[in-house]
Amino acid sequence: MNETGAPILGARALRKEYGREAGLVRAVDGVDLDVAAGETLAVMGPSGCGKSTLLHLLGGLDRPTSGELVLAGQRIDHLGERALARLRLGTVGFVFQAFHLMDELTAAENVELPALLAGVSPRRARRRATDLLEHVGLADRARFLPSALSGGQRQRVAVARALANEPLIVLADEPTGNLDSEATLDVLRLFDSLHTAGQTLVVVTHDARIAATADRMISMRDGAFVDETRLTGGSTGSLGTLAGLEG
Amino acid sequence: MAPGLGRDLRHHPAQAFLLLLAITAATATLALGLALHGVTSQPYQRTRAATNGPDVVAYLPVLHRPGRVAQPPAQVTTLVHDPGVTGHSGPFPLVGAVVRARGRAAPAEAEGRSQAPAVIDQPKLTAGSWVRPGGVVIERTFAGALGVGVGDRVTLNGRPFTVAGIAVTAANPPYPNLCYTGGGGCWASPIDRGTYPAAAATGLIWVTGPDADRLATSADPLSTYVLNLKLSDPARAQAFANAHGKGNNAGLTSSPGLAAWPGIAAADGLLVQDEQQVLSPGSWLACLLAVASVAVLAGGRMAEHTRRVGLLKAVGGTPGLVALVLLAENLIVALAAAAAGLAIGFLAAPLITSPGAGLVGSPGAPSLTLPTAGLVIAVALAVALAATLAPAVRAARTSTVSALADAARPPRRRARLIALSARLPVPLLLGLRLTARRLRRAVLSAASIAVTVTGIVAVLPFHATARLTRFGGSAGLANPVISRDEQMLTVLTVMLVTLAVLNVIVTAWATALDARHSSALARALGATPQQASAAVSAAQVLPALPGALLGIPLGIGLFALASGSGTVTVPPASWLAATVLGTLVAVAGLTAIPARIAARRPAAAILQSGLG
């Protein structure tokens, strides 16, 4: 079982707007949020409710229109592009629905890229990438280009990449949205192992079965939080059973 | 289709402008090259008409008899009474002289004239007045090289004179080609008499007859008379000269040397002949660069238009229509560019040919002939057609579903490349992989850099070997041919470099578009915008390096070919190294602009839009 600790991510009155006047859209509308260390948080909601935008804001990939955002004890809502890049490099790991691997790089090179960007020596970065690919069960695919991998394999490479710099928090945006059942199960098992190891996770999904594996689930609609539920499935239940993918 | 085209051009003004600029530069260079082919013929004809120029000029050696004054030889009577001759002027005495003005010295031939206008070959004054006792008239290009004008003081063989006027003639080629074999003139130059160092060119000065007699010295005696002849059939001038005279080199014998007007006209053209030699390969180099630019632009547009192609096909557009849309867009721009290029070329031609022209007035804009205009337009259209054909056909062949999905083509696995680049710094690693992903574009980019460096390197030997910028050292006169060649080469180099700059920007823009997903992803993973743009720059610099290196032997070869000497002249190694390094720095710098602009777009927006 996983013990959650002090908040490592906090948002106050977080707002993200697009357009002006009559065309104004509030993608994120006054969100307050705390994510504790080691916690797995699921954010649910229909398409277009602002889940992905929220995730991008939390990870410093986008800047809020207003509000306060604290990551690892540091205000990040006013940081410049370069500072945000440095912050993402050491603190945040992203997993995207569309995998977003670099087509030009092999699986191993994709995984070691964040470490190389962080200035880790190529030898150490490669060793770490090899370990992570082994962890996600793809050691034998290390030298394959993404185009030669299946969807599930690509997402597992993406998860390995998200862990390359041992981030404080992993943000996953619909990580199983493009996967079939078997691949979904593989990824969920991976997330479960991360959860067990104490990795802080925020997973955006519209799939209730995935959300059920979390410690806490927040429902979102029209850019705002409308419901919050504390769960035990993520830490106590059989993941496959809860997800409805295994008998 | 037409409104759609208009909208597309309006929606992508930068692309359309770049395309327009690339083809305009190429067609302007081509138009300039074609225009210069005939630029001297019209002014020569005008000068011939204005001066009632001779059809044949006879140079008659003087027979010196001891104790008697030199007299025109007996051949004068024979020539003047030939049935084909309808008129004549002269004979005029021609004497060698050393002219000094403004601290400079040069050899000259002084032709003794009457103060009354001659019926045939009365030089056309462009300034001042005709000869008078103590007052000389100097041929215009020679006066320009001497740096003298009306009213200035000069000395001829030590005797002081005033410059009464500046004039042009159709009876002799202008300075520095007076002694051009076959062009006439140069029968009394002090160089031939050994009284002036050979490293100089001879100019022409008109003086009064008595002044000419006084200029003769024992070292440089009166040796030649000039007789200008008009024929009943000017077209037979060369045949007449062949029948009655002998070669120019026989000037010191008793036989006359005869120069026919076509030979003089050809010698007039020497002033622009080198420019034509430079412009011809130069305009083709420019065309090659334009093809490269257009191909990259069309390819880039193709990448952007994939989804639009899918939509067109989804609503029933045939592959032919899709290909036609892409072709038509570029053809419209090509037509506009051809018109602009023609206008620039024909307006720029007189600017290049007018300085120092030894002909009447300014050469003026050459007439816009239909064949020339047709050729330039055809080349512009061919450039656009050739460059858009492949992407247009590919667009038409793309499956509707994959075009709608706008799916990026996966790169091919290249084990050796992966092994080679695995340990490179991140920007270089990404740059190399981006280059490998778009190999054809990289080859095109390398080729365009090679063409540019070829042009630059071809110019370098000229500067390295152009010793005769002044005849006879720093105190000598400026060589107008070298000055004009340098002017021409500078214009051409600027055009080539401008095109290359365009090319680099266009290629970098296309690469930045291609790499936007990878760049956005790298930034999402923690790369700074500088690191992301450095990767795009690396993707440009990597193919530029072999291109620049290849341009060195090609440029040296081009110079040998264009100079017609067949001699290989290698510029100093430091110049070549500076060219390669400068090219790479320029490529990196120019690439940084579109790369930095692309890196400014929020990574989240790019990743969310699913571009890739």
Picking from A86, A114, A145, the nearest residue to B413 by CB comes out as A145
Average pLDDT over residues A89-98: 89
B605 contacts on A by Cβ (under 8 Å) = 62
Asked if pLDDT for residue B212 goes beyond 80, the answer is yes
Handedness of CA B402, B404, B410, B411 (dihedral sign): positive
Quote the radius of gyration of chain B (alpha carbons, Å): 32
Cβ atoms B304, B515 nearer than 8 A: no
Residue A142 DSSP code: T
Which long-range contacts (C-beta less than 8 Å, at least 24 apart) are formed by B46-50? B46/B359, B46/B360, B46/B361, B47/B124, B47/B168, B47/B169, B47/B170, B47/B359, B47/B360, B48/B170, B48/B261, B50/B124, B50/B360
For A36-59, the pLDDT digits (tens) are 999 999 999 888 889 989 999 999
Is residue A13 assigned to a domain?
Answer: no
Report the distance separating Cα A14 and Cα A32, nearest Å.
Answer: 7
SS3 for A170? strand
SS3 for B459? helix
pLDDT of residue B98: 85
Residue found by looking up tokens 């956005």 in the block = B520
- B333 vs A134, B9, B235, B404, CA distance in Å? 55, 9, 46, 27
- B500 vs B285, B288, B436, B449, B589, CA distance in Å? 11, 10, 22, 7, 13
Report the distance separating Cα B19 and Cα B23, nearest Å.
Answer: 6
pLDDT of residue B2: 47
B410 contacts on A by Cβ (under 8 Å) = 103, 145-147
Q: Is A9 exposed, middle or buried (0-12, 13-18, 19+ CB in 10 A)?
A: buried
* Predicted complex ipTM: 0.79
For B241-270, the pLDDT digits (tens) are 877 765 444 333 455 678 888 888 877 766
Closest CA to B228 of B332, B76, B347: B76
Of B76-90, B426-440, B441-455, B468-482, the one with minimum mean pLDDT is B468-482
Q: Does A48 touch chain B (CB under 8 A)?
A: no
Of A42-46, A116-120, B161-165, B569-573, the one with minimum mean pLDDT is B569-573
Closest CA in chain B for residue A147: B410
Residue A247 CB contacts under 8 Å (≥ 6 apart), including other chains: A241
Report the distance separating Cα B141 and Cα A68, nearest Å.
Answer: 79
Report the distance separating Cα B177 and Cα B249, nearest Å.
Answer: 15
Of A28-32, B120-124, B220-224, B399-403, the one with minimum mean pLDDT is B399-403
Is residue A20 assigned to a domain?
Answer: no
CA distance A80 to chain B (A): 11
Can you spell out the DSSP letters for B110-127?
A: EEEE-SSPPSS--PEEEE
A105 contacts on B by Cβ (under 8 Å) = 429-430, 433
Please state the φ and ψ torsions of residue B113, each to the nearest 5 degrees: -125, 160
Hey, which of A120-129, B337-346, B367-376, B514-523 has the most confident mean pLDDT? A120-129
Report the distance separating Cα B483 and Cα B489, nearest Å.
Answer: 10
Cβ atoms A116, A100 nearer than 8 A: no
Task: Provide the residue count of chain A.
Answer: 247
Q: Verify whether the Cβ–Cβ distance B423 to A122 is below 8 Å.
A: yes
Of B373-382, B463-472, B501-510, the one with minimum mean pLDDT is B463-472
Q: Verify whether the Cβ–Cβ distance B521 to A100 is below 8 Å.
A: yes
Q: Verify whether the Cβ–Cβ distance B525 to A62 is below 8 Å.
A: no
Burial profile B561-574: b = 16 or more Cβ within 10 angstroms, e = fewer? ebbeeeeeeebeee
Looking at per-residue confidence, does A111 or B218 come out higher?
A111
pLDDT of residue B546: 92
Picking from A104, A117, A144, the nearest residue to B527 by CB comes out as A117
Q: Verify whether the Cβ–Cβ distance B526 to A81 is below 8 Å.
A: no
For A166-192, the pLDDT digits (tens) are 999 999 998 888 788 888 888 888 888
pLDDT of residue B462: 66
What CATH number does residue A93 fall under? 3.40.50.300
pLDDT of residue B216: 81
Which residue type does B526 have?
G
Q: Does B410 touch chain A (CB under 8 A)?
A: yes
For B586-605, the pLDDT digits (tens) are 888 888 887 777 777 777 77
CA distance B388 to chain A (A): 27
Average pLDDT over residues B140-166: 89
Picking from B411, B602, B610, the nearest residue to A104 by CB comes out as B411
Torsion of CA B521, B524, B529, B535, to 10 degrees: -30
Helix locations, chain A, DSSP H: 51-58, 81-91, 107-117, 122-135, 151-162, 181-196, 208-211, 233-236, 239-243
Q: Verify whether the Cβ–Cβ distance B430 to A118 is below 8 Å.
A: no
Residue found by looking up tokens 């076959």 in the block = B182
Picking from B408, B529, B603, the nearest residue to A61 by CB comes out as B603
Q: Does B13 touch chain A (CB under 8 A)?
A: no
SS3 for B366? coil
Average pLDDT, chain B: 75
CB proximity under 8 Å: A 77-116 to B = 81-82, 85-86, 88-90, 94, 96, 98, 100, 102-106, 109, 113-114, 116
CA distance B486 to chain A (A): 47
Average pLDDT over residues B224-237: 88
Report the distance separating Cα B541 and Cα B534, nearest Å.
Answer: 10
Q: Verify whether the Cβ–Cβ distance B526 to A89 is below 8 Å.
A: yes
Of the residues A63, A94, A104, the best mutation for testing chain B's interface (the one with the most B CB atoms within 10 Å of its CB) is: A104
Is residue A43 assigned to a domain?
Answer: yes
pLDDT of residue B23: 77
Closest CA to B597 of B521, B544, B519, B525: B519
Is residue A67 assigned to a domain?
Answer: no
* Residue B360 pLDDT level (bands cut at 50, 70, 90): very low
For A195-221, the pLDDT digits (tens) are 888 899 999 988 777 788 888 999 999
Q: Verify whether the Cβ–Cβ distance A113 to B607 is below 8 Å.
A: no
The two three-digit tokens of residue B552, written as one number:
């060195």
Residue found by looking up tokens 């000497």 in the block = B565
Asked if pLDDT for residue A133 goes beyond 90, the answer is yes
Report the distance separating Cα A164 and Cα B61, nearest Å.
Answer: 97
Picking from B430, B527, B610, the nearest residue to A85 by CB comes out as B527
Of the residues B525, B533, B542, B601, the best mutation for testing chain A's interface (the one with the most A CB atoms within 10 Å of its CB) is: B525
Which residue type does B268 have?
D
Closest CA to B268 of B141, B124, B372, B138: B141
Asked if pLDDT for residue B196 goes beyond 70, the answer is no
SS3 for A113? helix
Helices and strands: H and E segment counts in chain B: 21, 10
pLDDT of residue A172: 93
Is residue A205 assigned to a domain?
Answer: yes
Q: Which domain holds residue A102?
A: 38-62+80-243
Report the distance separating Cα A140 and Cα A130, nearest Å.
Answer: 10
- B302 vs B296, B431, B513, CA distance in Å? 10, 22, 11
Q: Verify whether the Cβ–Cβ distance A145 to B411 is below 8 Å.
A: yes
The ranges assigned to domains in chain B are 1-40+294-407, 50-268, 411-612
Asked if pLDDT for residue B334 goes beyond 70, the answer is yes
pLDDT of residue A34: 93
Closest CA to A94 of A179, A201, A188: A201
